[in-house]
Amino acid sequence: MSWSLFDALVKAALGLPAALLFTLGAASLLSRPLTERLTSALARAVFGLTALALLIAAGLSVPLEAQHHTISLGHWFVAGATSFELRLLADPLSLTFSTLCVVLIGVVAVFSDRYLHREPGYNRYFVSLCLFSLGILLVVLAGSIEVVFAGWEMVGLSSALLIAFFHERPAPVRNGLWTLAVYRTTDLGLLGAAVLIHHIAHTGNFDAFLGASWPEGPSPLSSGQASAVGALLLFATLGKGAQLPFSGWLARAMEGPTPSSAIFYGALSVHAGAFLLLRMGPVLDQAPAVAAMAVVFGLGTAIHATMVGRAQSDIKTALAYASLTQVGIILVEIGLGLRWIPLIHMLGHASVRSLQLLRSPSLLHDFQRLEVAVGGHLPRTGRYLERLLPPRVRRRLYAAALARWRLDELLLRVITPALGLLRALDRLEHRWCAWLGGRAADGSEVRRDG
Amino acid sequence: MTAELTFPLLSLMIAVPLVAALATALGGTLVTRRAAIVAALIDVGLAIAALVVHLADPSLALADPLDPLTWLFGHPVLRLDRLSAPLLVFAALISLVAVMVAPRTALRASLLRRNLFAQAVLLATFATREPAVMAAMWCLGALPPLLELRSAGAAGRPALRVFAIYMGAGAAAFIGGVALTGGEHGLLASVLLVLAVMIRKGIFPLHSWMPELFEHAPLGVSTLFNAPQVGAYVAATLVIPSEPAAALDVVGVASIITALYGSAMALVQRGARRAYGYIFMSQSALVMLGFECLSAEGVTGALAFWLSSGVALAGLGLALWVLEARRGALRVDRLHGGYERTPLLATMFLVFGVGTVGFPGTYGFVGQEMLLDGAVHVFPGLSVAVALASALGGLAVMRIYFSLFTGAPAQGGLTQRLHRRERLGFALLGAVLLVFGIWPRPAVELQSAVAAELLRARAVAVEGR
Amino acid sequence: MGVVELPRRAPDYVNVRGERQSEEERAGVLAAVEHAAHLLPAQGPISIFVHHNTLHAFEGVPFEEAVVRGGQALGCEPFLSEERFHAELSRGRILSADLQAVIAEDLGATATAPVAGLTTRQALRQAMVQLVFIEPGEPELRWLLAETRVLEHLRRDLPPELRRGFLDRARSALGRDRSPAALETGIVQRLWTACLGVARKAPSEHVGASYPLRLGDLLRLAADAGPQADADRLVQPLLIRLAGAFLDQGIAYWGLAAREEGFLAAFSAVYGESRGGERWRDALAAVIAEESRRGGDAVDSVLRSLAAMGVTPDAYEPVITAELLAIRGWAGMFRQIESRPDRVPVQAPPARLMDFLAALLCAERAALAVLAREHLGFAGDLSALRGWLIPQIRPPPPPSEEARAAGLFQVAQALGIDGAALERLDREESAALLGEISSFSGVERRRIFHLAYERRQRVEALDALAQHARRPAPGIGSESSSFQAVFCIDDREESLRRHLEEISPECETIGFAGFFGVAMYYRGAEDAYPTPLCPIAIRPTHEVEEEVDADFARRAVTRARGRRLVGRLRRGFEVGTRTFARGSLLTAAFGLLAVVPLVSRVLFPRLTASLRLRGERWVQAPSRTHLALSRRPEVTPQLGAHAGYSHAEMAGIVREMLTLCGLAGRLSPLVLIVGHGSSSLNNPHGSAYECGACGGGKGGPNARAFAQMANEPAVRVLLAAEGVEIPSGTWFVGALHNTCDDAVKYFDVELVPDSHKELFARARRAIELARAYNAHERCRRFESAPLWLPPMLALAHVEARSQDLAQVRAELGHATNALAVVGRRARTRGLFCDRRAFLISYDPTRDDDGAVLSRLLAAVVPVCAGINLEYYFSHVDPAGYGSGSKLPHNLVSLLGVMNGGSSDLRTGLPWQMVELHEPVRLLMVVEARVEVAERVLAADPSLRRLVDHRWIQLAILDPDGAGLSLRVDGSFKKYVPENMVLATSPSSSAWYRGRRDHLPFAQITGGA
């Protein structure tokens, strides 16, 4: 009986946000968007109930000893040997993290209701937020790699749409597209891992390659297989988690409304990668090389981010890099084979950072209060560097930090020639058609650079 | 053992648009549109009826007493099976929506009649498996775009020539292939058929006509010509059963290259139409890839993706058409603004866009998952390219979306909300995409049965050889 | 980005590279920068927000011209959109009569001139604003013609009689047998054909080509490559990041080193090294290297850059202006810090606008050269680029016949002109008709709309004042008030004053600038350092400290210690979580605890705040304090010249205040001096809600200081000697009103003499009630506050708002301000002004020569006009003049806000603040005789400039009666009221209850 209640609760935790998304989306598609009041009431109810459901489920999981409990929502479709099963996994990892997710999303939804009051994009915002919440819950509660992937894609799209939320200005749109480009590229890692796992195990279910109980595993994959899968997963993590060399997008992502920045880039979205690696811990255990890579990338990112963040003079960018620093460290912890510490670190960091981001518009107020408390101007930070380093080195470090290590430029150096090549091919196409169509190659229709 | 239902379902379906076209031969634009909508509605109704009848009892044979060509071939030419039944609905639906949303700025009675003609040809193609009839329809089907390009005058001349050359070559290959089938040049026949299919599907390197057509012909016409993907039907019915193994690999690899090439090229286009053309090319090529896998997952995926991409791409193309009527020629290398002027169109565009590239929650996701699964067994190395193609495709779609609908709103821009018929048309396509995206099981079951049949047919043919 | 006609041919420019820059050219650049600087936003650091006229640089020209010219220079809108005005027209906020009057006045004698024999200018213009007139682009027009029914039906919004006229005429011409629908289509299509015919006959107007001034804009236009060829996209992020670091006041953990060498040096140091990044960055490094080789100062560098970009000396000014305006937020901040370093919150870096310009131009040089090469294949010298680009730009095609006919088509319908009438027009008449239509352009129509919009508001206000003066509310004018309360002139205090007088008729309220004449540097018991509390134009000379009473000194010390400890811990945590090692320890170990404040602050803001306050009480400075107000010669003040005031100075302050507001000689036993401030969270613009007269600070200390001065016996003796007697039975009490949560705090209550205790308690009770009603009245404007809230719950609602992290509209600030009345309170007492009026007390009967009025207006007009105009511009173009939506704002350097991670500094007011505002110019009504007003205006050129260039509307109210005169074209003209009825209501709350919109004036009959 308890198990059935437990299952029902976990299913509800997924079903409620999905229903909300469906309601909001259908209403907008029918050109009858819900009013602010109704949207807010629904969102409060849904996220409140979801949080409640997950809290109870988490509570129940203790007496039930739910170490590794799978819940099937049925076969979504079957084709040949492939079956796509909607499978959820409830274990300490997914239950704790999903509970935090829902609590944070609920708080942000309530916050946003007041924050976005009378904003023309109010409805659009809540649709994206729902898409995100469904996505992140799928990622967290997933019991198979396909479900992770589906959630992963939803998180990515909602992220891009919310960065570009203020779409009258070009900068948010540009940065949204940039972020999406990073996401889509690195999502290949997850897609590749999913396909590879299917290839190896003929199913994407976690049991087939993670072993019975998180975090022990052990993964039935061979070391070679685990390395390949792990490397692909790590690649996916680098994108979503804004690790080197993709870190640039996180600062660009601060274009959206403050609460969405808080939930995405302070709290959940940025940790999704780390969560994935944590979930796939048993695979990493089998693939020490990949674990070592995780340490290297995480450490590199943490150093990069802490340096860059310290030179930033606007609060949101500074917080973005502060966030990144911790995500990098969490990755290091995961790479070192720890499981519980990174989980706790993640939970704590997500809470602190989202609060800080939500408070970021009050910075001036806080600053003045601190000055009152301290009884003078606040002491200057970072003086030790002046004692430790010669000015020349300091200047170089500072310039590098201010330029954010030119990471985006680095990516552009890959992208620009590729686009150049494509443009050349495009010109060729035009010339070919022109020739075939009996038109001079430099005829009136030919554009300057194609 | 086979029960028989005698009702001229299929011939009626083909006749209705032709009759509508003839009846309005002298009518004005508005009358013709009304007739065309009615004709398409009747066709959708008939197609759904056919599907329901077929699903209720798959063993039921449909005897069409009015089958016009029985006398010529000695046996019924029109037939309904599990492959064609959903396709007929699909084709009729796209035709319906195309005529519903067609903007008046682009609308002429001649265009509508050509569309009706195209609809009839399309339905006839999907309702037969007789190679000769298919060949005839293949040639007739190319007429509407050809005529449209011709009426575009001097500006469309080069595109007309490109289109004519490619279609001519394709038709020649197809007719040649059909003629040679069963004879001693079986291999040559297969190769010719494969070539024809590759041309018609715009598979690299035989694709150049496709972006040209999209750029220069009215979007409604080019969408109706391409979105049903007649090439895929030919592949499924004529090519797969007899295709030599070597050709399989060639077409498979070519499809992967097409998918990658198209989505990459879409990223550097400046005109919206051409960018859309490349996305079309890229995503529809994945269907061919699925067929070439010859595995249950692959073929089922191909069938699913055929319909999903067809619907999504048709929606995307038609949305572009409707938007063009409101704003003039569209570029995608800058932000136009105007989300507020047409919010629903923007949302629909986004839905079709993400549906095209297989976003979870749309039917495209289902097809793509299976396709990838199928592909990875046959082309393990190249399946990375498939994934990359879909990644780039998604990016290209979002780039188009952002450039068309976001940015600073133009001062004094009029609100240009969708008309009711436009809303209805897009809602139809969107509903198909989303309903099957959330609840794909029945569709996939049907398609997986068709796939099994196709594979069995091939097994039989190969054994026979 | 200004668009100015420039010669098509590239000017010959003598290259002066390598030569010493001549003094003449240097002077040219200096002058150009000086000129450009006037156009930059005058917004200083955001922590001291001061309202000012956004287009202050254009005050020398009439308002209507200035908004158009300023709009062109800054790329902003001059007026609201036509769409908005049409909405106002259809909801009755603008009346047809207003439009008619305004057009007639605007056209003057030519109003009745015929146009093409069909109509008059007046009728034509009236038609073009009365019905929606659209000018769609070519594709939109094609869509309209094809997809909508404009060619089948007469327009829907046509008045029925016009429609009937069309149909009747057509029926008589075509016969009765056609159906009405067919008839209508016939009419419309014939009309359309006729319009096309007219357009065909009239020659197309020549559109002169104009090119952007900035080379970057020109390049973008010519390259046709979308945003790829945008130099700003390369240059601005680089510059913004460095500028943020350079000006930073403490956000960054590591500050920029060697700031004292200036921005240009920092720019060279940071960006001067190239390590094979993007091509344009290499080019920039090369430019920097060259510049440092050449040497010289920033001016030399600017001159070299201008030369390199091919700018001739005669174009210095427009080009430099355009360049700086393209990044005007940051440029303006450099300028502000350069000119007022004392306003910087922590430490002013050596900011110089010239340095900024030099860096900007260096970067642009590099970027433009690279872009021109990459996108256009231009390999020549950058100085020749302009001449090379211009021929490549295709001029826009002339408007099509349909486009030209479309306007006429709409007008003809609105005027009831048939196709037949248009067909008869000859060539000249056609041209005249089309010319007349196109001469009434979009901007012109919007100007007319704006004037009508203002006219309606003005007529209503003046009518109400006239009626109120003629028939004062009962009870007004009795001189026997038992207590008086002096409030700030702020429009937000209007409602509190009204409610107070309604509740307690024995009270009289007075309006005076909220610093009450006490200009000081003030340091509170908890404050770290003194801050100025006075209007921004004044630099105080006195410093005043708040001291804890001697009995509590020990407690004060321990609490300060506790406060410091808590502060250090909090600071340590905040900074720590952003670092590497400390961050991971803190977030991992204590992070989850953050869920508690996160949930409680968002879900239960009021409860959390009260808990927090309770906790903080343990570390607060003791409440028993006093002001060290008297002069202490032995103390050297941190700021200013003197610590404290001498008695003579105090007497001067008190005398001035009492005289100006007309209180002298008629003081009640109790006088409350109420300053105001505002406290809210999540609000970088918080300072904009505080008291403007206190320079964006809270006016409580000023009120307290004033009361203390006026209570001082020695001061009273001095005053009495000067003839300004303060009766010994009069006591002053200072207080602070928080306009956000409507709390009122009193100072030095324990000093109130026993004789006044009872009276003070009565006054206090009245104010308690009044503030609840004030909150109640405010809540009607908050959509999130239900309309049924009773006053006490409304008070709770506004308290929660002020403590809510998520609340972006904690209060509405000065939104809706529209009116200022300078005169006796009797003239406005009992008049419901809907929180839209600045009320300034002034007694014309004691000021025959206008000396008092002159002083008063000089002080209050700039303040009121500044607030009003800032709200005007921020509302009219929220993205251009205002700072857009608050939601993506990101505090940078503690000085201002950006959108997202890297944008220009957003000056002006955020949309959430001005959303409800009606953008009208301030209507100033002064109670004075015409001669006095003329004299005052003549004596004050800056006031006259504001009035006669129509930046404010000025009316005068006859002190002896109810006559009004309006200032029109440099003289006062008698105003004739249009509406002789003024609504009445038993109480304010009865008038506003249940209504959200702007409310009309009403006379409150119940109170007073």
How much is the ipTM here?
0.94
List, for residues C827-839, the tens digit of each pLDDT value: 999 999 999 999 9
> Are the beta carbons of B406 and A81 separated by less than 8 Å?
no
How close A138 gets to chain C, by Cα (Å)? 23
Question: For strand C520-523 and strand C531-533, is the pairing parallel, antiparallel, or unpaired?
Answer: antiparallel
Statement to judge: residues C283 and C228 lie in one domain: yes
Minimal CA separation from A81 to chain B, in Å: 7
pLDDT at C334 exceeding the cut of 60: yes
**What angle do helix axes A92-115 and A340-359 make, rounded to 10 degrees?**
0
- Separation of alpha carbons A145 and B321, rounded Å: 39
Q: What is the dihedral of CA C103, C108, C109, C115, to 10 degrees?
A: -30
pLDDT band at C176 (very low <50, low <70, confident <90, very high): low
* Contact flag A167-B160 (C-beta cutoff 8 Å): no
Give the model's confidence band at C276: pLDDT under 50 very low, under 70 low, under 90 confident, else very high.
low
State whether residue A353 sits within 8 Å of chain C by CB: yes
Q: Which of B96, B127, B158 is the last residue of a domain?
A: B127
What's the rounded Cα separation, in Å, for the pair C212 and C219? 9
Is C769 in contact with C498 (CB distance < 8 Å)? no
- Using a pLDDT cut of 90, give the percent of chain C over it: 66
Q: Considering C619, C637, C658, which residue would you say is the last residue of a domain?
A: C619
The reported pLDDT for the residue numbered B465 is 60
pLDDT of residue C275: 66
Contacts of C258 in chain A (CB under 8 A): 391
With 50 as the cut, is the pLDDT of residue C19 above it?
A: no
- Answer yes or no: do C406 and C540 share one domain: no
What number of CA atoms fall less than 13 Å from residue C282's CA on the CB side?
8
Q: Are residues A51 and A108 in the same domain?
A: yes
Domain that holds residue A209: 2-360
Q: For B448, which of A80, A154, A425 is closest by C-beta distance?
A: A80
For residues A412 and A353, state if they share a domain.
no
Q: Are residues B119 and B165 in the same domain?
A: no
Query: Which of B67, B94, B127 is the endpoint of a domain?
Result: B127
Residue A184 to residue B391: CA distance in whole angstroms: 5
Please state, in angstroms and rounded to a whole number, the distance separating the CA atoms of residues C875 and C870.
8
Q: Do B95 and B106 share a domain, yes or no?
A: yes
Q: Is the pLDDT assigned to residue B200 strictly greater than 50?
A: yes
Question: Are both A412 and A337 inside the same structural domain?
Answer: no
Do B120 and B184 fall into the same domain? no
For residue C3, the one-letter residue type is V
Q: Answer whether A104 touches C (CB < 8 Å).
A: yes
Domain boundary among A340, A360, A380: A360
Q: Is A315 on the interface with C (CB under 8 A)?
A: yes
For residues C536 and C645, state if they share a domain. Answer: yes
Contacts of A326 in chain C (CB under 8 A): 583-584, 587
- Classify burial at C782, counting beta carbons within 10 Å of its beta carbon; exposed 0-12, middle 13-18, buried 19 or more: buried
Same domain, A298 and A438: no
d(CA C451, CA C457): 10
Is C388 contained in some domain? Answer: yes
For residues C442 and B412, is the Cβ–Cβ distance under 8 A? Answer: yes
Whole-number percent of chain C with pLDDT over 70: 96
Range 237-276 of A in CB contact (< 8 A) with B = none
Structural domain span for residue B309: 130-464
Contact B419 C147 (CB under 8 A): yes
On the question of pLDDT at C7 being above 70, the answer is: no
A166 and A306 share a domain?
A: yes
pLDDT for B1: 40
| A117/C242 CB distance under 8 A | no
- Residue C112 pLDDT class (50, 70, 90 cuts): very high
Q: Are A267 and C591 in contact (CB under 8 A)?
A: no
Are B438 and B307 found together in one domain?
A: yes
- When pLDDT is cut at 50, 70 and 90, the band that residue C696 belongs to is confident
Whether residue B101 is found in the same domain as residue B156 = no
Please work out, in degrees rounded to the nearest 5, the angle formed at the alpha carbon of residue A34 by the alpha carbons of A28 and A35. 140
Q: Which residue has the tokens 């620093």?
A: A325
Angle between helices C263-271 and C279-294 (to 10 degrees): 130
Considering the domain architecture, whether residues C571 and C523 belong to the same structural domain is answered as no
Report how far apart, in Å, the C-alpha atoms of B391 and of each of A182, B259, B335, B363 are.
10, 11, 22, 17
- Residue C537 and residue C653 share a domain: yes
Co-location of B57 and B164 in the same domain: no
Torsion region of C18: left, alpha or beta (phi above 0 gives left; psi -120 to 50 gives alpha): left
A391 touches chain C (CB under 8 A): yes
Length reported for chain C: 1008
State the average pLDDT over residues C482-491: 94
Q: Do B168 and B60 belong together in one domain?
A: no
CA-angle at C695, arms to C690 and C697, nearest 5°: 40
The alpha carbon of residue B9 is apart from the nearest alpha carbon of chain A, in Å, by 31
Q: With both helix axes pointing from N to C terminus, report the angle between C401-415 and C160-174 in degrees, rounded to the nearest 10.
A: 100
Are both A314 and A442 inside the same structural domain?
no
pLDDT category, C405, cuts 50, 70, 90? very high
Residues C584, C629, single domain; the answer is no
Instruction: State whether B52 and B170 are in the same domain.
Output: no
Shared-domain flag, residues B158 and B123 = no
Looking at the structure, do residues A240 and A299 belong to the same domain, yes or no? yes
Residue C339 has pLDDT above 80, yes or no: yes
> Is the same domain home to C589 and C676?
no
- Kindly state whether residues C411 and C358 are assigned to the same domain: no
Closest Cβ opposite residue A255 in set C277, C886, C901:
C901
Is the residue at A348 inside a domain?
A: yes
Mean pLDDT along residues B275-286: 94
Q: Do B136 and B121 fall into the same domain? A: no
Q: Which of A178-192, B381-395, C549-563 has maximum average pLDDT?
A: A178-192
Could B160 and A195 be called an inter-chain contact, meaning their C-beta atoms sit closer than 8 Å? no
Same domain, residue pair C715 and C658: yes
Digit-by-digit pLDDT tens for chain A (450 residues) are: 578 899 999 999 999 999 999 999 999 888 888 999 999 999 999 999 999 999 999 999 888 887 888 898 888 888 777 778 888 999 889 999 999 999 999 999 999 999 999 998 999 999 999 999 999 999 999 999 989 999 999 999 999 999 999 999 999 999 999 999 999 999 999 998 988 888 888 888 888 888 777 777 788 888 899 999 999 999 999 999 999 899 999 999 999 999 999 998 888 999 999 999 999 999 999 999 999 999 999 999 999 999 999 999 999 999 999 999 999 999 999 999 999 999 999 999 999 999 999 999 989 888 888 888 888 888 878 777 778 888 888 888 888 898 888 888 888 888 989 999 999 999 999 999 999 988 654 444 433 333
**Nearest partner of C440 among C73, C103, C86, C2, judged by Cα:** C103
- Report the alpha-carbon distance of residue C772 to residue C765 in Å, rounded: 11
Q: A374: which 2 tokens? A: 């301290």
DSSP summary character for residue A334: H
Question: In whole angstroms, what is the distance from residue C823 CA to residue C834 CA?
Answer: 18
C590 and C711, same domain (yes or no) = no
Note whether residue C825 is domain-resident: no
Count other Cβ atoms within 10 Å, centred on residue B444: 25
Whether C384 has a pLDDT exceeding 50, the answer reads yes
Name the average pLDDT for chain C.
Answer: 90
Same domain? A448 vs A309 = no
**Total of domains in chain C:** 4
Residue C583 lies in a domain: yes
C13 has a pLDDT exceeding 70: no
pLDDT value of position C585: 92
Say if residue B36 is in the same domain as residue B161.
no
One domain for residues C523 and C417 = no
Give per-residue pLDDT as tens, C312-327: 999 999 999 999 999 9
- Those residues whose C-beta lies under 8 Å from the C-beta of residue C960, and which sit 6 or more positions away, are none
Domain count, chain A: 2
> Quick one: A96 and A216 in the same domain?
yes
Cβ contact A315–C890 (<8 Å): yes
**Residue A415 and residue A347 share a domain:** no
Q: What tens digit of pLDDT does each residue of C893-935 get?
A: 999 999 988 899 999 999 999 999 999 999 999 999 999 999 9
Beta bridge partners of C831: C1003
Is residue C949 exposed (0-12), middle (13-18) or buried (19+ Cβ within 10 Å)?
Answer: middle
Q: Which of C783, C811, C839 is the last residue of a domain?
A: C811
pLDDT greater than 50 at residue C409 = yes
What's the rounded Cα separation, in Å, for the pair C982 and C984?
Answer: 6
- What pLDDT, on a 0 to 100 scale, did the predictor assign at position C475? 58
- Residue B43 and residue B77 in one domain: yes
> How far, in Å, are A428, B124, B205, B264, B375 from residue B199 at the CA level?
19, 21, 9, 20, 22
Domain interval for residue C598 = 554-619
Predicted confidence (pLDDT) per residue in C810-819, tens digit: 898 899 999 9
Do C147 and B327 lie within an 8 Å CB cutoff?
Answer: no
Asked if the structure places residue C939 within a domain, the reply is no
Token pair listed for B389: 């193609």
Q: Are residues A274 and A407 in the same domain?
A: no
Binary contact (A80, B451; C-beta < 8 A): yes
Specify whether A413 is located in the same domain as A279: no
Chain A residues touching C612 at Cβ < 8 A: none
Which tokens is C555 given?
């407690």
Chains near B, with 3+ CB pairs < 8 A?
A, C
Specify if A391 maps to a domain.
Answer: no
- What DSSP state is assigned to residue C699? S
User: Phi then psi for A117, rounded to 5 degrees?
Assistant: -50, 130
Q: Which pLDDT belongs to residue C1? A: 34
**Count of domains for chain B:** 2
Chain B residues in contact with C227 by the CB 8 A cut-off are: 333-335
The answer to whether C889 contacts A361, with C-beta atoms less than 8 Å apart, is yes
From first CA to last CA, the distance across chain A in angstroms is 67
Task: Supply the mean pLDDT for chain B.
Answer: 89
Q: Where are the alpha helices (DSSP H) in A312-382?
A: 315-335, 340-359, 363-374
Residue C572 lies in a domain: yes
Which among C136, C142, C227 is the nearest to B105, CB-wise?
Answer: C142
Say if residues C400 and C145 touch (Cβ distance below 8 Å): no
**Chain B interface, Cβ < 8 Å to C:** 103-105, 107, 270, 325-328, 331, 333-335, 410-414, 416, 419
Residue after which a domain boundary falls, among B64, B98, B127 = B127
pLDDT value for B3: 61
C73-93 pLDDT tens trace: 899 999 999 999 999 999 999
Picking from A314-318, B378-382, C187-191, which range would have the lowest pLDDT averaged per residue?
A: B378-382
Point out the domain boundary residue: A342, A360, A378. A360
pLDDT (0 to 100) of residue A294? 96
Residue range B430-436: average pLDDT?
93
Tokens 């100033």 map to which residue? C924
C653-657 — which CB contacts under 8 Å span 24+ positions? C653/C516, C653/C517, C653/C518, C653/C706, C653/C709, C654/C517, C654/C706, C654/C709, C654/C710, C654/C715, C654/C719, C654/C724, C654/C726, C655/C719, C655/C722, C655/C724, C656/C517, C657/C512, C657/C516, C657/C517, C657/C706
Q: Does residue A367 lie in a domain region?
A: no
Return the higher-pLDDT residue of C155 and C206.
C155
Same domain, C366 and C312: yes
